[in-house]
Amino acid sequence: MITLLRLISILVVALRYRLDELVLSSLQHPLAHFMLRIVCLGWRPRRPRGERLRLALETLGPIYVKFGQVLSTRRDLIPADLADELALLQDRVPPFPSEQAAQIIQEALGAAPQALFAHFERDPVASASIAQVHFAVLHDGREVAVKVLRPGMRHAIERDLTLLRVLAGLVERLMPDGRRLKPREVVAEFDNYLHDELDLIREAANCSQLRRNFGPETGRAELLMVPEVVWEYCTSQVFTMQRMRGVPISRVEQLRQLGVDIPLLARQGVEIFFTQVFSDGFFHADMHPGNILVSDHPDTLGRYIALDFGIVGSLSEFDKNYLAQNFLAFFHRDYRRVAQLHIESGWVPADTREEELEGAVRAVCEPYFDRPLAEISLGQVLLRLFQTSRRFNVEIQPQLVLLQKTLLNVEGMGRELDPKLDLWQTAKPFLERWMHQRVGLRGLRQRLDQEASQWSQILPQLPRLVYSRLSQPDLTPAMQAEIQQLRRAQQGTQRLLGVLCGVLAVGLGVAVWAIVHGGAL
């Protein structure tokens, strides 16, 4: 019943902001224009379509706001007026009252903001779909940013996730490709990420991990700056971190005036993404322009600054190796290897003809090589690959959906910074270097260093463990059952032999008696 009511409320919001007119006006078909005249009833909306779409998404709640944030980075897929308006969702969602924020801080940290901080700015500096941020100053003089969770978030998200689960079940049952797309698994992944965002302690931990991954000892400090966590002022509803100063990455002209090398900035953004994915297996998965700043301080001018760590992704060693080999095969235009990797990983049926899959992938990817990013739409490439995957029954991998979303965000930012950026050539050297480190002597030495502490404990015990194993073999239940069965069979055979021996002895005795007494007669 709740799901039905939510669906009705979504339809009401769509009609209120005349999203029906927006959809029909984008279709180039006589029937669509006829329907448009009917639904408009002789009048047109006064507000621009982009503003109506943004307001509708804000009204519907955080899940829909995040959807708008992703769309805002894809100017190659949506008109410019829609992208400009949706970009406001990145950090300009209407804030909730400051009194509520102060009350949440007092309940979470045990004291009013005026007592906790030497100075606390009442008005939020940024407001997003899940939380809003207030600047403050600690009593020791450190400038911090205090992130406060929006009230009522858990209920709103659970309501919309319930609807998504129902829709995913319908897709799985009714669509021909429903099972292959694994919609319920994808919704489950989305569920996990959204609930992770609702726990600001988890976000603080994500921030701390990313800061270590790009710390001075890693040699990557020049690529990315991550704020320091102030743990004594963190709870599940409040997250306090070092205040970072910079220019939003979307303000390209301002960055250019400051002297930032924009093409270099674009290349470093690609390198940061691939470093997080393949070197760490831990990546910032909400990289829209509202969460990325560029430092304007003279000492750190042009360095990326990461904010908002509510959604992060992680990959297993198998996923990293598989993806890296796929990327390298694409970069080398080795489409046969791409086909082999899909078959070896089990993503396509084992009886798939390798040469057919190779030809299909070549037809999708070959037209896009050696072209600048301005002429390449990764969204279109993924769409064509998706259409090809239907033909070969490729199974969608839910754990990679978040990575695909992040890759689209990275491409969108790269397009804004430098339309001439060659995404393929920028990533290729990094992946080749990464693969060499993993399969070469350097990679072997690193893995030996990682395992050294474990082996130092095991090696002295190895002779004793081997002797114990050989002297007292640990039989499995199946082996024990077989041995018992053999013992019972052996006992039965022994009993049978005993009976036969007894019968034979009696027979021999009778025969001897007959011979003796017969001879006497």
Residue 453 has pLDDT above 50, yes or no: yes
Give the pLDDT confidence score for residue 512 in this predicted structure. 55
Residue 515 burial (CB count, 10 A) = 10
Instruction: Quickly count: other Cβ atoms within 10 Å of residue 224's Cβ.
Output: 22
CB-based contacts of 503, cutoff 8 Å, min separation 6: none
Contacts of 333 (CB under 8 A, 6+ apart): 362, 365, 366, 369
Confidence bin at 341 (pLDDT 50/70/90):
confident
pLDDT tens-digit readout, 365-401? 887 766 665 666 665 666 566 667 667 777 666 556 6
pLDDT at res. 202:
94
pLDDT score recorded for residue 41:
52
Span 168-184, pLDDT tens digits: 787 777 766 666 666 77
Model confidence at 22, in pLDDT bands (50, 70, 90)? low
Least confident window among 50-54, 185-189, 499-503: 499-503
Is residue 466's pLDDT more than 80? no
Q: Is the pLDDT of residue 508 over 60?
A: no
Strand 143-149 relative to strand 131-137, pairing: antiparallel
> Active-site residue numbers?
286
Copy the structure tokens of residue 360.
């299909």
CA atoms of 111 and 116, how far apart (whole Å): 6
Mean pLDDT in the chain? 78
Burial 60-93 (b: 16+ CB within 10 A, else e): bbbbbbbebbbbbbbbbbbeeebbebbbbbbbeb
Mean pLDDT of 43-50: 72
287, 273 Cβ separation under 8 angstroms: yes
| Cα 191 off chain centre by | 12
Q: Is 152 left (phi over 0), alpha (psi -120 to 50) or beta?
A: left
Show Cβ contacts of residue 492 under 8 Å, excluding neighbours closer than 6 positions: none
Structure tokens at 511: 């025969």
Which residue type, as a one-letter code, is found at position 245? R
CA distances from 291 to 46, 367, 409 (A): 32, 33, 11
Closest CA to 397 of 484, 319, 304, 507: 319
Distance CA 437, CA 430 (A): 11
Closest by CA position to 310, among listed 165, 128, 142? 128
Measure the CA–CA gap between 292 and 363, rounded to whole angstroms.
Answer: 35
Per-residue model confidence as pLDDT tens digits over 197-248: 789 999 999 999 999 999 988 888 899 999 999 999 999 999 999 999 999 9
Reported as a pLDDT band with limits 50, 70 and 90, residue 520 is very low
**Tokens 């130092």 — which residue?**
456
The arithmetic mean of pLDDT across residues 476-502, rounded, is 61
Q: Phi first, then psi: give them for residue 126, nearest 5 degrees.
A: -150, 150
What CA–CA distance (Å, rounded) separates 426 from 67? 28
Determine what percent of the chain falls in helix, strand and coil, rounding each to the nearest 5: 65, 10, 25
The confidence score (pLDDT) of residue 505 equals 58
> Residue 302 — pLDDT band, cuts 50, 70, 90?
very high
- Phi, psi torsion values for 426, nearest 5 degrees: -70, -40
pLDDT in tens, 237-291: 999 999 999 999 989 999 999 999 999 999 899 889 889 988 888 999 888 777 8
Pick the more confident residue, 432 or 296. Answer: 296
Position 38 scores a pLDDT of 54
| Cα 320 from Cα 200, distance rounded (Å) | 28
Strand order across the 224-225 sheet? 224-225, 304-306, 292-294, 247-248
Please tell me which residue, 308 or 507, carries the higher pLDDT value. Answer: 308
Q: What CA–CA distance (Å, rounded) separates 340 from 317? A: 19
**Per-residue confidence (pLDDT) for residue 480, from 0 to 100:** 63
> In three state form, how does the secondary structure of 287-302 look?
CCHHHEEECCCHHHCC
Confidence of residue 521 (pLDDT cuts 50, 70, 90): very low
What pLDDT is recorded for position 303? Answer: 95
What is the structure's pLDDT at 404?
73
Is the Cβ–Cβ distance between 88 and 54 less than 8 Å?
yes
Per-residue DSSP letters for 334-393?
-HHHHHHHHHHHTSS-TT--HHHHHHHHHHHHGGGTT--GGG--HHHHHHHHHHHHHHTT
Q: Using CA atoms, how far apart are residues 150 and 132, in angstroms rounded to an integer?
A: 7
User: What does the pLDDT look like over 106-144, one tens digit per residue?
Assistant: 999 999 999 999 999 999 998 877 889 999 999 999 999
- pLDDT-based confidence at residue 21 (cuts at 50, 70, 90): low
